[in-house]
Structure formats: C-alpha cells, structure tokens
C-alpha cells in the first residue's frame, strides 16, 4: 500500500512536468494545426540557458529564492525569443503550404538544435582584461545540473515507507502556478480571446481584424517559455542536462498531448498525468527498460480506440 | 547506378522482345553485370563496404518513397522495419550456421540459406508493415506519422530486451554472405517494383490518395486497401535491406535502428523529391557519399586532423538544416514527382529514345 502511494506521488510529479511540456504542443497545434516537433529541443535549449545562468550566479546565489527566480526568468525569456525566431523564419513562410511541409521543417529544426548542441567546435572570444568568453557548445556528454533546489525530505510517512521530496512539492506548485497563469491568459484576457478565435478559424479571425500573425507569434513565445520552465523542473528532477534530452522528453510530452487529444488544454494536463503514472508503474512493478515501449504502446492503443485522443474530437474532413 | 539505369530503361526498350520474356529480361540482363561487379570489387574491402551501404540506403529510400512519396502517408518509423528484417534474417542465419543441405554443394546450400534468411526477414517486416498499415484505416496525416514513429521505437525496445537478440549487445557472428552483387540485386528488385507500381493503375490510385484522399475515396478508390498494400510492399523491402545489412556488417545492435536512422531515410526521400524513384536513388547515393567525401577532403587538406573526425558530428545538424532549407525553397524536393529523364535537357532524352 505504501509502495503504491509512493509510486502515485512519483508518477504525479513526473506527470505534471510532462503536462507542462504537453501544453506547449497543444497550444501551438491549437492555433496552427502544426505538430511542433522542435518543441522538446526548445525546452533543451532553455535548460542550457538556465544552466549557464546558474553557473554565472555562482553556488551561493543560485540556491536563494531570487537566484532560482532569475534562473527561471532567464531561461523562459531566452526561449520565448528563440520561439519567436523559429516561428518567424521557419514556420511563417510555410503557413499556406501543405501541413506535411511544416512538419518536415519542424523535424529539421529539431535535428539541427539537438545535434547542433552536441558539436564541440570550441570557439573562444578574447575579452578585455585577460578573460575569455568561451563559446564552446556543450558537447555530447550529459552534465550535472546544479542543485538550485537543495533536495530535502519534506514529508516522511511511517518508517520511510513514503517519502515526499521538497523538489517534488515545489515543482508541483510551480507547474500548477504556470497552468493557472495559462488558464487566465487563455480565458480571461484579450490576447486569449484572440488566440481562441485564431484557433477556431484563422481566416475569419483575420477578416475580423485580429492580427493573426502577432497572435501566432505570441502563442509560440508563450509555449516556448512554458517549455523552458518545464525543462528546468525536469532537470531538477533528473539532475542532468544533455543535448538529446529534448528529443526524448519532447517525444514523451508529445505522446501525452496526443493521448489527451491534441489541441485540448485540459486534455494535455490529463494526458501528462496519465503518462507519468503509467511510466512510473511500469518502472515500479515491471522492468524499467520497457518504459518507452509501454508509453508508445499506450499511445497507439488510445489512438486506435479514440483516433482524436481521450478528449479530442475528430473533425469531419471537407472535400 | 548501372542497375538503376538498366532497371528503369529496359522495360521501355522491350518492344522487340517476345512478350513472354519481357517480364524477366531485366533480371537476366542484371545478373551477369552484378556478378562481374562483385568479381571486380573482390580486392577492395572498403569500396565493397561503401557500395553495400549505399545500396542498402537506396533500397530503404526507394521503398520508403512508395509510402511517403507515392501514397502520401508520412511514415517516420522505417528503421523499425529494417530492424525487424535485420534481426530475423541474422537470427535465421545464426541458427542455420554450420548446417548444409546434403544433396547440394556447400557454396550453393549457403546461398539457399542466405536467400531463406532474407526472405524470412523481408516477410516478417512485411507482416509488421501490415500491422502498421491497419491503423491507417482510422488515422491520417500527423497521427499516422506518430503511430509509425511509436512503432519504430517499440521495435527497438523489444529488440533491446530480448535475450535471443543479444539485448543491447546485438547479434554478432552472422555469416558475411551479402556482397555487392546481392545488395544490388535487391536495389534492382525494389527499383523495378517501384517503377512498375508507379506506372500501373495501382500506382494511379496511390497518386490519387496522395493528392486528395477524400476525393479518391469518393471516386471509388479503395483507399484503405491501397494504403495497407503500399505499407506491406515498402516494409518488405525495408526488411530485405535490413537482412542484407545484417549480412555484411560485423555486428548489428539496436543502436543502428533508432529514430535517427528513420530520419536519415526520410531526408533521402524528401531531398530526392516525394514521389520520384530516381530522385530517391540519387539522394541516397549523395547522402551516403557526402560524409565520406567531406572526410577525405578534410584529410587531404591536412591541417585540421580533428575536423575529419567531426564529420559524423556535423552530419546530423546539416541534415536538419538541409530539411528546413529544402522545405522553404523547394518543398517538393529536387525532382518533385518527376524522374530524372523528365528533367534532363530535351536533346538527351531524344537521343536516348533514338537508340532504343
């Protein structure tokens, strides 16, 4: 019983992170009908930005509250900028082309980012005063992510039967906070209303005077910023960063989004939680090496039973 | 190249040949050429290896083109089918190792076993292709792409966790029976099949599905049947390529059949042009030779010895940027749905027609 409870807690903690990444996929799919394959890699870049900021702050400052806030802010702002550029130069020119074109482009960007970050070409810029700015890209090997939240056991039930770590609680709270902000943005603000209108029909929205290009760009920036936040939470949980994390975490989060019904905001959250729990139970009660196969098997099963995902609707195709 | 050309031009030139011979004439013509090629290359292991890798890539690209290019069903799990073929063919060969058919000479019986292994690999991959094709009943577009991706990953995990397949270590000690001749016979077959399909009424239905699935269905095309069949044919050849691959590399392991390999094949198809068989062949040749060419270029330039080793690192980001640049400038690929003789200058095509 205690073991089950522990797995439930771990699964929920992992699931909220998947849910946050999945929200980014869902938002972009909602407004553009594009599966943004590069989303996971934007997340990876965000984690590296956070990593660089943490190193720049030094050991003392990075674990303070303001330090953590600064790390998150830097990563999220940096990623928003990256998302803007990707949308502007890779997706916007293709908006009127067949959807497969944009999907292939997204895969291309994903590869360029994840494998580009593995290059170790070692450029160095000399700075005045004897310092030099190393532009070396991170290289292929994973690196330890600094302990920006020092792990302590927050709640222990019984004789260490169930242990809840502080980072689990903190990441749950941050994730919930980000989701509430998103909920507010989408349903209470003018921007959110414009976003929903574009998602409904972007031609009609444009006719009604909604600046669709700006709305789509903002949606991209928002989803990229969310990805960076989620990526940092993942790095805190996993205590490592590597250029390929985006491919795999991104793929998982994408599975979560599809399970929930892509384009559906509550669906993404539910999908993320379900996927986190399923994976945790596979690791806990079966073999951990089967985790990825079970995740994809579950996806295929869901799609076969409900082709639009759990909460999605299959739109009738017009000729 | 030789095989590709003979495969694609001979059927057109067959007007003077008796009708009964027409179907197998290309095969009869290709066999001695391939035998000669194999014999000529016996002295050079590197050239043999490079040509074999190139051939396997051509088979993969041309077969994926049947699904992605002709039918328009975006599949991004092709390496999974290749893995099925490679592992099962390798497994069969390992089981039959040391055995011989008593009434045949040893060399011939080895060839029979090799053929058997390839067939098992190809057919089991075809079965998997059937299973993956079935969801296309209900899923289309992006969703089907995701299912094929998931399928490829599942295959990899299954292989990684099966003791009989050597887990993460893979299979080693598979007899090295495929040479350039065998690989290019595979190339020959897949090109023949792809070109025949493209020109047939079956192919017309595939093009129709690619252009507009709903309209095709309304015109009475059995879309599901055609989609499943193209998946089966395509994955059969991917399995065959896997089997051939398993019989010339020293060791096969799950690391050779990841999502990355699938994407390499997709890049070949997209670069060549979605729907162009010759485009897929040329792209496969180009993308196989490119890293080697860069490596030898950097080596001959001398100074940066480490740069030559970095070619493999640079390859993947370059693939990514290549995809983006292609989609932005020429979304239909270099050749589009055209074949190479459609885009060559008129005088060349006319001279070719004159000789035939």
Tens digit of each residue's pLDDT (9 = 90 or more) over B59-77: 999 999 999 988 888 888 8
3-state helix, strand and coil shares in percent for chain B, rounded to the nearest 5: 80, 0, 20
Nearest to A107 among B138, B215, B263 (CB): B263
Residues of B in contact with A289 (CB under 8 A): 157, 160-161
Element (H, E) at A224: helix A212-238
- Percent of chain B scoring above 70 in pLDDT: 87
How many CA atoms, within 13 angstroms, populate the side-chain half-sphere of residue A153? 7
Best of B327, B328, B332 to disrupt the A interface by mutation (most A CBs within 10 Å)? B327
- What number is the average pLDDT over the span A99-118? 86
- What proportion of chain B, given as a percentage, has pLDDT over 90? 24
Interface test with B, best of A34, A36, A100 (most B CBs within 10 A): A100
- Is B194 a residue whose pLDDT tops 50? yes
Is any Cβ of chain A less than 8 angstroms from the Cβ of B151? yes
- Closest-CA distance, A165 to chain B, in angstroms, reads 31
Q: Is B303 on the interface with A (CB under 8 A)?
A: no
Q: Verify whether the Cβ–Cβ distance A255 to B150 is below 8 Å.
A: yes
Select from B128, B147, B161, B141 the least CA-distant residue to B254: B161
Nearest CA to CA, how far is B325 from chain A (Å)? 8
Q: Do B324 and A297 touch (CB under 8 A)?
A: no
Angle, CA A23 vertex, CA A21 and CA A26 arms, to 5°: 120
Q: A297–B150: do the CB atoms touch at under 8 Å?
A: yes
8 Å CB contact of B161 and A290: yes
Q: Has residue A20 got a pLDDT over 50? A: yes
Cβ distance A292 to B314 less than 8 Å, yes or no, reads: no
Asked if B135 lies within 8 A of A303 by C-beta distance, the reply is yes
Q: Chain B residue closest to A300 (CA)?
A: B147
Q: Distance between CA B231 and CA B226 in Å, rounded?
A: 9
B330 at interface of A, judged by CB pairs closer than 8 A: no
B319 and A99 within 8 Å at the Cβ level: the answer is no
Span A263-298, pLDDT tens digits = 778 888 889 999 999 988 888 887 778 888 888 888
Distance CA A31, CA A197 (A): 9
Most confident of A83-97, A293-307, B101-115, B232-246: B232-246
Mean pLDDT of the A54-65 span: 76
* Chain B residues closer than 8 Å to A104 by CB: 266, 270, 323, 327
For residue A189, the model assigns a pLDDT of 92
Counting residues of chain A whose pLDDT is more than 90, the rounded percentage is 21
CB nearest to A115's CB, from B135, B320, B328: B320
Contacts of B323 in chain A (CB under 8 A): 104-105, 107-108, 111
The residue-averaged pLDDT of B298-314 equals 66
Q: Measure the CA–CA gap between B87 and B159, rounded to whole angstroms.
A: 8
**Using an 8 Å Cβ cutoff, are A16 and A245 in contact?**
no
The total number of residues shown for chain B amounts to 356
> How far B108 CA lies from chain A's nearest CA (Å)?
41
The distance of B331 to chain A (nearest Cα, Å) reads 6
pLDDT: which is higher, A125 or A93: A93
* Cross-chain Cβ contact B331/A98 below 8 Å: yes
pLDDT at B240 over 90: yes
pLDDT top residue among B199 and B15: B199
The residue of chain A with its CA nearest to that of B147 is A300
pLDDT at A137: 62
Contacts of B327 (CB under 8 A, 6+ apart): A94, A97, A101, A102, A104, A105, A108, B270
CA distance B72 to chain A (A): 9
What count of CB pairs under 8 Å joins A to B? 125
The 10s digit of each residue's pLDDT in A181-201 is 888 888 899 999 998 899 888
Q: What residues contact residue A122 under an 8 Å CB cut-off, 6+ apart?
A: A134, A136
Measured distance CA(B229)–CA(B133) in Å, rounded:
8
Angle at A93 between CA A90 and CA A95, to 5 degrees: 105
Question: What average pLDDT does range A84-110 have in this prediction?
Answer: 87
B265-293: per-residue pLDDT in tens? 988 898 888 888 999 999 999 988 888 88
Instruction: Give per-residue pLDDT as tens, B129-182.
Output: 998 888 776 777 778 888 888 888 898 888 888 888 877 788 888 888 878 888
CB contact, 8 Å: B15 with chain A? no
The answer to whether B13 faces chain A, any CB pair under 8 Å, is no
Tell me the mean pLDDT in the region A44-52: 90
Of A100, A116, A258, the CB nearest to B317: A116
Give the pLDDT score at B8.
43
pLDDT in tens, A112-168: 898 888 876 655 555 565 555 555 566 777 888 887 777 777 777 777 778 888 888
pLDDT (0 to 100) of residue B355: 47
- Residue B333 has a pLDDT of 80
pTM for this model (two decimals): 0.84
Judge contact between B262 and B79, C-beta under 8 A.
Answer: yes
Cβ distance B143 to A258 less than 8 Å, yes or no, reads yes
Q: Is B324 on the interface with A (CB under 8 A)?
A: yes
Mean pLDDT of chain A: 84
On chain B, the residues whose CB falls within 8 A of the CB of A120 are 313
The burial class, CB within 10 Å (0-12 / 13-18 / 19+), for A143 is: middle
Tell me the ipTM for this assembly: 0.81
Query: Per the CB < 8 Å rule, is B138 touching A247?
Result: no
User: What chain A residue is nearest to B135 in terms of C-alpha separation?
Assistant: A304
Do the chains contact at B320 and A109, CB–CB below 8 Å?
A: yes
Residues of B in contact with A271 (CB under 8 A): none
Residue from B71, B77, B132, B143 to probe the interface with A (highest A Cβ count within 10 Å): B143
Q: What is the pLDDT of residue B234?
A: 95
How near does any CA of chain A get to the CA of B316, in Å? Answer: 6
Query: What is the pLDDT at residue A304?
Result: 82
| Mean pLDDT to the nearest integer, B9-35 | 62
Cβ contacts of B76 on chain A, cutoff 8 Å:
107
Nearest C-alpha neighbor of A98 from the set A37, A39, A34, A36: A34
Residue-wise burial string across B198-210, b where 16 or more C-beta atoms lie within 10 A, e elsewhere: beeeebebbbbbb
**Which chain B residues are within 8 Å of A118, Cβ to Cβ?**
313, 316
Handedness of CA B110, B116, B119, B125 (dihedral sign): negative
Residue B251: strand, helix, or coil: strand
């Amino acid at each position: 019983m205690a073991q089950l409870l522990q797995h439930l807690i771990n699964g929920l903690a992992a699931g909220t992170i998947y849910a946050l990444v999945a929200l980014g996929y869902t938002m972009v799919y909602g407004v553009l009908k594009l599966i943004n394959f590069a989303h996971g890699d934007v997340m990876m870049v965000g984690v590296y930005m956070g990593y660089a900021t943490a190193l720049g702050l030094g050991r003392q400052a990075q674990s303070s509250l303001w330090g953590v806030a600064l790390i998150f802010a830097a990563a999220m702002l940096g990623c928003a900028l990256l998302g803007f550029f990707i949308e502007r130069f890779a997706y916007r020119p293709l908006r009127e082309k067949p959807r497969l074109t944009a999907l292939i482009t997204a895969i291309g960007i994903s590869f360029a980012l994840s494998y580009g970050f593995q290059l170790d070409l070692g450029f160095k810029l000399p700075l005045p005063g004897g310092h030099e700015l190393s532009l070396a890209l991170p290289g292929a090997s994973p690196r330890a992510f600094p302990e920006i939240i020092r792990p302590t056991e927050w709640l222990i039930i019984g004789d260490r039967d169930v242990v809840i770590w502080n980072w689990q609680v903190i990441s749950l709270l941050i994730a919930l906070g980000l989701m509430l902000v998103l909920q507010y943005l989408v349903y209470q603000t003018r921007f959110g209303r414009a976003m929903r209108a574009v998602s409904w029909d972007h031609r009609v929205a444009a006719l009604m005077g909604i600046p669709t290009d700006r709305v789509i760009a903002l949606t991209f920036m928002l989803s990229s910023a969310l990805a960076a936040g989620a990526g940092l939470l993942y790095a805190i949980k996993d205590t490592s960063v590597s250029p390929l994390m985006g491919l795999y975490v991104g793929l998982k989060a994408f599975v979560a989004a599809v399970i929930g019904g892509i384009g559906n905001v509550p669906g993404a959250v539910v999908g993320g939680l379900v996927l986190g729990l399923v994976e945790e139970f596979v690791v806990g009660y079966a073999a951990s090496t089967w985790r990825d196969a079970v995740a994809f098997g579950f996806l295929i099963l869901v799609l076969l039973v409900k082709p639009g995902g759990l909460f999605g609707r299959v739109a009738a195709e017009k000729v | 190249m030789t095989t590709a050309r003979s495969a694609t031009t001979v059927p057109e030139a067959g007007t003077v040949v008796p009708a009964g011979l027409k179907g197998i004439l290309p095969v009869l013509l290709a066999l001695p050429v391939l035998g000669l090629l194999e014999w000529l290359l016996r002295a050079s292991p590197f050239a043999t290896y490079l040509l074999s890798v190139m051939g396997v890539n051509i088979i993969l690209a041309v077969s994926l083109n049947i699904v992605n290019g002709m039918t328009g069903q975006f599949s991004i799990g092709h390496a999974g089918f290749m893995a099925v073929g490679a592992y099962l063919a390798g497994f069969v060969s390992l089981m039959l190792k040391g055995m011989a058919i008593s009434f045949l000479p040893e060399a011939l019986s080895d060839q029979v076993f090799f053929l058997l292994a390839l067939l098992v690999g190809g057919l089991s991959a075809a079965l998997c292709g059937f299973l993956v094709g079935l969801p296309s009943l209900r899923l289309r577009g992006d969703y089907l792409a995701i299912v094929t991706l998931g399928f490829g990953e599942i295959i990899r995990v299954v292989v990684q966790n099966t003791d009989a397949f050597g887990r993460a270590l893979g299979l080693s000690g598979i007899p090295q029976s495929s040479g350039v001749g065998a690989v290019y016979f595979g190339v020959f077959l897949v090109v023949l099949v792809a070109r025949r399909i493209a020109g047939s009424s079956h192919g017309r239905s595939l093009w129709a599905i690619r252009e507009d699935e709903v309209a095709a269905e309304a015109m009475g095309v059995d879309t599901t049947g055609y989609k499943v069949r193209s998946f089966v044919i395509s994955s059969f050849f991917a399995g065959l390529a896997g089997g051939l691959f398993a019989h010339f590399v020293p060791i096969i392991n799950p690391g050779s059949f990841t999502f990355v390999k699938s994407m390499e094949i997709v890049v070949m198809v997209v670069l060549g042009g979605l729907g162009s068989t010759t485009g897929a062949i040329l792209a496969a040749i180009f993308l196989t030779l490119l890293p080697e060419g860069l490596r030898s270029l950097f080596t001959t330039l001398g100074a940066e010895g480490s740069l030559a080793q970095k070619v493999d690192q640079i390859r993947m980001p370059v693939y990514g940027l290549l995809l983006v640049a292609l989609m932005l400038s020429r979304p239909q690929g270099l050749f589009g749905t055209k074949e190479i003789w459609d885009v060559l200058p008129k005088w060349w095509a006319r001279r070719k027609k004159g000789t035939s």
